[in-house]
Amino acid sequence: MKINQTVLVVLFLTLSSSSIGVFGGNLFDDLHCSWGNGRSKIVNNGQLLSVTLDKVSGSGFESNGKYLFARIDMLIKLVSGNSAGTVTAFFLSSKGKGHDEIDFEFLGNVSGQPYTVHTNVFCNGEGKREQQFRLWFDPTADFHKYSILWSPHHIVWLVDETPIREFKNLESKGVPFPKNKAMKLYSSLWEADNWATRGGLVKIDWSKAPFKAFFKEFRAEKYNCDWSKGYPSCTPPSRSIFSFWTSPDKFFKTLDHGAMGKLNRVKQNNMIYNYCKDFKRFPNGLPKECQYN
């Protein structure tokens, strides 16, 4: 059956508008500046958010709502120029003892050197699952989309729709997986020159301050979860934009052949650290999930 191109465009826009936190929506609806004494700001009638780091303080924002299984997307333009010693964080986290967390952290660089993307996942307060990557573009020249897909089946980190990491639910193998604690989205720009750039060898040049990063077009697509019986029964978003290309159920369960190919190319060409290869760090044996992820 031949489908009119106009119909496809209308369908795409309809599916997009069904999302929670639609791209192009008002950021005030979903986010608020949470710290930094005015250094974090939502401007342009709710279309742009900026975070600032100076010698006095960093700054950040958080989501108004919590999520238990979701896909989170946002366009980010990172600190330009000499950003050595700075970290721009974009992550999901619960609060309290034994917290869960899913991290994107962008480690600053001396001007002209590539950014490092630092990823990690915590379950019940335990992390130590770091993987790091070099981006294949200049993330300071323009906005790029960074996404966290968190489903009951796996966690996927994506950059411009390219998966760079997958952490599977391997509870059946005795590996903890974050599934019981709702998380908020947090983001911040802060000083970490004791470790961020070349292991802390390169410090912040405060003469380059203030440092700024920019965010826009937030979207969060939540699972549909029934909490009436305690631990919820959850299903993927029924009108997900992703169902325009594939079924939401499949999308949130596993990476297809094409996505796996992209993931493997990133691992081969852009990964610079993998905790599952760090035998010095784990002399008594690698974490159990390293056999499978």
**Which helix (DSSP H) or strand (DSSP E) does residue 264 occupy?**
helix 257-269
pLDDT at 231: 52
Residue 4 has pLDDT above 90, yes or no: no
pTM for this model (two decimals)? 0.87
Q: What is the pLDDT of residues 14-26, one digit of tens each?
A: 333 333 444 558 9
Selected catalytic residue, list 62, 105, 161, 289:
105
In CATH terms, the fold of domain 17-291 is Jelly Rolls (2.60.120)
Distance CA 166, CA 72 (A): 15
Q: Please answer whether residues 23 and 29 qualify as being in contact, where contact means their C-beta atoms are separated by less than 8 angstroms.
A: no
Distance CA 105, CA 107 (A): 6
Distance CA 41, CA 46 (A): 10
pLDDT at 90: 98
Structure tokens at 44: 């342009």
Q: What is the mean pLDDT of the chain?
A: 86
Of 152, 167, 157, the C-alpha closest to 253 is: 152
Average pLDDT of span 154-178: 96
pLDDT at 237: 67
Residue 113 has pLDDT above 90, yes or no: no
Average pLDDT of span 112-131: 94
Q: Show me where the domains of the chain are located.
A: 17-291
Residue 11 has pLDDT above 60, yes or no: no
246 vs 34, residue with greater confidence: 34
Residue 164 has pLDDT above 70, yes or no: yes
Distance CA 125, CA 214 (A): 29
pLDDT at 3: 37
Residue 223 has pLDDT above 80, yes or no: no
pLDDT band of 111, cuts 50, 70, 90: confident
Neighbours of 143 (CB within 10 A): 16
pLDDT at 292: 87
pLDDT at 92: 98
**Which helix (DSSP H) or strand (DSSP E) does residue 259 occupy?**
helix 257-269
User: Catalytic: 62?
Assistant: no
Q: What is the pLDDT of residues 40-63, one digit of tens each?
A: 999 999 999 999 999 999 999 999
pLDDT band of 218, cuts 50, 70, 90: very high
Average pLDDT of span 265-292: 96
pLDDT at 68: 87
User: Percentage of residues in the chain with pLDDT exceeding 70?
Assistant: 82
Residue 184 has pLDDT above 50, yes or no: yes
pLDDT at 165: 97
Radius of gyration of the chain (CA): 19
**Which helix (DSSP H) or strand (DSSP E) does residue 260 occupy?**
helix 257-269
Selected catalytic residue, list 62, 101, 126, 289:
101
Average pLDDT of span 70-91: 96
User: Catalytic: 101?
Assistant: yes
Residue 239 has pLDDT above 80, yes or no: no
